[in-house]
Structure 1
Amino acid sequence: MPLSKDPKNDDHTYEEHVRADLNRWIRKLLQKPGFLERTSKVIQTKVNDKIPEKVHTVITATVKGLVKSVVFGLEYIPNSPTFYGMQLQERDQRAQRLLVKYRKIAAAEGAGTGAGGFTLAVADFPALIVIKMKFLFELAHIYGFSTKDYRERLFLLYVFQLAFSSQEKRPELFQVILNWEKTLSELPAEAGDPQQIDWEQFQREYRDAIDFRKTLQLIPGLGAVVGAWANYGLLDDLGTIGMNCYRLRIVGGI
């Protein structure tokens, strides 16, 4: 997510600049589906019907396990420190470097599994989810939010959903993120049953969002190139939304 040039190294100026970036991003995020998006959805549905059931099963099981492991487990919590007391501009710069690193990791993983035929291409789906979640956890720490708190891990799941949801679902998810401080005040201090997440809908939205790009990876001869391209793009999408969700929390709305 390229940032506009900051004319001065001034905190107030930079925050105003970020607010303008956020306004543009939100308008684009919440715009109604156009003709291209509606047409793509029809094609996507047809493609989805032709994907082997094995792929659907892998994605469903992975997403279901993801929700539980993120909310209740500690396996994704990074060793990196939580950066407190840092200016937003420096956080953004660190986040950009982190995104560059994870885009390369995702592209390399996609190229490797894509070149290995159908079995490895199917294995790429859960592997890519792990890469995405590790990125989000490190991103949270860069923006000063500790993932040792399960409520921050729950926030990550909403960010993940927002990145890979349909255009129709995005306004609802965005409102949850926009009003997260209110949601925080209503959550218990300890993790309970994460009923806030409908994992079945979660996996359907995620599957539909990645189908068109990732399904091409299953085509013989195209796997390595498409796998790298798809994974790079999917990480880039997640990075843009993840960074802006945290920027939105830091500047306190728009």
Structure 2
Amino acid sequence: MPATPPFAASDADYEAWARGEVAHWRREVLKPAGALDRAARGVQQRINRVIPERVHETVTAVIERLTRTILTGADLTTGDPLHGVALAERDRRARAAIEGYRTAAAVEGGVTGAGGFWMAMADFPALLTLKIKLLFDLSAVYGRDTEAFGERLFLLHVFQLAFSGAGRRADVLQALDGWDAREHPASLDGFDWRRFQQEYRDYIDLAKLAQMLPVIGAPVGAVVNWRLTERLGETAINAYRLRALA
């Protein structure tokens, strides 16, 4: 649970506090997988062997196609980048945006969870769209222009960091460190989509499968979507703090 931000503090004091929060977040990101995480991964691997290959292929194709379209298309609109604003105000606006998206994701998860298997399956692309839209809005809050391909690539890395296993997170965090001091690819041609999809699905599948069960599907869908959206928002806030405080 993130600490309560001291929004009323001076700019210098707030930035000092934010540095401490980023350091704490970094330690959590780099923490090795615990026994519970390893057990969950084992369960996930057994479930993956049971699920028909046709379902795996369909979900994988939807994730890749939708993510590519969102990240490279021009149809996703957001507000103008926010300039000349202190970090405290950016964080405050970011948390307000996250709250709105968490609520929308919870409602969407509850509705699809109450609708049975096929409605729950439809929740995969719907929730993914909400997550990407949240990232675009947060990019504007932190003064970044998502018309630039490099900024969209940054968002993809933030998404990866939020939903990767312990064995992958260190590599993604290293890619985010010093982001503005390095050159980046001009296209997604060399991006490892297979690993991206598998990490994302392994992270969310176990929780989302419970959404397909009768009776408990609706409350599970609401809670899971809320928590997944919150995790993505917190990851994005700290990733942008990394850049702002560099």
Taking structure 2 as the reference length, the TM-score comes to 0.94
Which amino acid in the other structure matches residue 140 of structure 2? H
Q: Which residue of 1 aligns with 2:127?
A: 128
Bigger Cα displacement from structure 2, 44-53 vs 216-225: 44-53
Identity of aligned residues (%): 41
Among 197, 205, 209, which residue is 1:203 paired with?
197
1:149-164 map, 5 Å: 149-164=148-163
Q: Which residue of 2 aligns with 1:46?
A: 46
Matches of 1:17 and 1:42, distance apart in 2:
38
Matches of 1:6 and 1:114, distance apart in 2:
37
Quick check: 2:178–2:243 contact (8 Å CA) kept in 1?
Answer: no
Shift of 1:32: 1.1
Matches of 2:46 and 2:130, distance apart in 1:
28
> In 2 relative to 1, CA 55–224 (structure 1 residues): closer, same or farther, beyond 3 Å?
farther
Quick check: 1:155–1:177 contact (8 Å CA) kept in 2?
Answer: yes
Aligned length: 246
> In 2 relative to 1, CA 223–248 (structure 1 residues): closer, same or farther, beyond 3 Å?
same
Which amino acid in the other structure matches residue 31 of structure 1? K
> In 2 relative to 1, CA 7–60 (structure 1 residues): closer, same or farther, beyond 3 Å?
closer
> In 2 relative to 1, CA 27–113 (structure 1 residues): closer, same or farther, beyond 3 Å?
same
Q: Which runs of 5+ in 2 are unaligned?
A: none
Q: Which residue of 2 aligns with 1:2?
A: 2
> In 2 relative to 1, CA 196–159 (structure 1 residues): closer, same or farther, beyond 3 Å?
farther
Shift of 1:176: 0.5
Which amino acid in the other structure matches residue 97 of structure 1? A
Matched, 1:11 2:5: no
Which amino acid in the other structure matches residue 236 of structure 1? E
Bigger Cα displacement from structure 2, 49-58 vs 69-78: 49-58
Shift of 1:52: 4.2
Quick check: 1:77–1:147 contact (8 Å CA) kept in 2?
Answer: no
Shift of 1:35: 1.6
> In 2 relative to 1, CA 5–135 (structure 1 residues): closer, same or farther, beyond 3 Å?
closer
Matched, 1:213 2:207: yes
Q: Which residue of 1 aligns with 2:236?
A: 242
The secondary structure found in structure 2 opposite 1:218 is coil
Shift of 1:53: 3.9
> In 2 relative to 1, CA 196–177 (structure 1 residues): closer, same or farther, beyond 3 Å?
farther
> In 2 relative to 1, CA 52–125 (structure 1 residues): closer, same or farther, beyond 3 Å?
farther
Bigger Cα displacement from structure 2, 195-204 vs 130-139: 195-204
Q: Which residue of 2 aligns with 1:75?
A: 75
